[in-house]
Amino acid sequence: MTSPDVPGLRWGILATGGIAHAFTKDLRTAGRDIAAVGSRRPDAAQTFADEYAIPHAHGSYEALVEDPDVDILYIATPHPSHAENAVLALEHGKHVLVEKPFTLTAAEAARVRDVAKERGLLAMEAMWTRYLPHMVRIRELVASGALGDVRALFADHTQKLPTDPAHRLNAIELGGGALLDLGIYPVSFAWDILGAPTSITASARLIETGADSEVATTFTHGSGAISATLSAARSAGPNTATIIGTDARIDIDRVWYSPTSFRVIAPDGTVLEDFVTQHEGRGMQYQALAAERFVADGTNDSDILPIDESVAIMQTMDDVRGLIGVRYPQEG
């Protein structure tokens, strides 16, 4: 939770889909102030407001961003709309927490970053995994040298999702594909632990719409360490992750990108640390609490996932798409 001397922000929820419900439930778990919700459908906004006892329901995004009782907006629309929605909010003086992937492309991400910096506002990617207790502890262990030299990282995000070509997960015009919906998690994880990749290779299976149903990446990082990720939208795998160092490894349990447990294991198999997460809700509240802290301290940027890094990660996603032959119609 935030410390008593850190004032809370008044939240607005932009869009009312499944991820908006999950986030709002966790905001309530954390006791945060939710002032308004907005949808393009007035009835959807009112239903959502009634469910979560939100004072104001707006029948358009424009009305939501103009609400004087809102300080920060959670952008919960599909990612092809993230940049447009975030810029709209920023231009009306609202901080934004933008659901991942941050945008559709790196160019869009840079635009959001630049508007936020011009306005002196927070624009933060809602990569909630980075703010979870087990990830905080993992970064501490890596930084302390507990693993020795980190040499490799493996992670998968694999699910069996709808196969309807018209579904947003498969429609190329809606930014469909495993990479942006699922792959953003392990790619961001590799960035988090090992830093920017210095070389990228990738392969994928494309479906009839031109979107990717499976994509594998191999990155080399500045230290020489290697990361490998697998993302798949039509087959469910273990959804685990491992960080391998010269002195020990970390095995993160299923589902590694949500609140879970991990073990630090020596080369001889000795368990050096067994970490079990204690949390309430899904765990999305940690990013919200962090966002409030970054606004309160005047930095208007995340020290866990800075906005410049979110832009750079979207460039990595662009580079991977270039290698596997996926291009969105919006790119021209």
Dist. CA 119–CA 113, nearest whole Å = 10
SS in 3 state form for 53-65?
CCCEEECCHHHHH
Between β-strands 226-232 and 261-265, what pairing exists: parallel, antiparallel or unpaired?
Answer: unpaired
- The residues of the chain that CATH labels 3.40.50.720 are 10-128
Q: pLDDT truncated to tens, each residue of the chain (332 aa)? A: 334 445 689 999 999 999 999 999 999 999 999 999 999 999 999 999 999 999 999 999 999 999 999 999 999 999 999 999 999 999 999 999 999 999 999 999 999 999 999 999 999 999 999 999 999 999 999 999 999 999 999 999 999 999 999 999 999 999 999 999 999 999 999 999 999 999 999 999 999 999 999 999 999 999 999 999 999 999 999 999 999 999 999 999 999 999 999 999 999 999 999 999 887 889 999 999 999 999 999 999 999 999 999 999 999 999 999 999 999 998 87
pLDDT value for 280: 82
In angstroms, rounded to a whole number, what is the distance separating the alpha carbons of residues 330 and 253?
37
pLDDT at 42: 97
- pLDDT given at position 65: 98
The pLDDT assigned to 279 comes to: 78
Architecture of the domain delimited by 133-278+313-331: 2-Layer Sandwich (3.30)
Taking only Cα atoms into account, the Rg of the chain, rounded to an integer number of angstroms, comes to 20
CATH 3.30.360.10 location in the chain: 133-278+313-331
Which tokens in the block code for residue 258? 């949500």
Using DSSP, state whether 49 is helix, strand or coil: helix
Place of tokens 């996603």: 317
pLDDT of residue 5: 47
User: What does the buried/exposed string (b/e) look like for 2-38 if buried means 16 or more CB atoms within 10 Å of the residue's CB?
Assistant: beeeeebbbbbbbbbeebbebbbbbbeebebebbbbb
**Would you state the pLDDT for residue 278?**
83
Domain 10-128 has CATH 3.30.70.100: no
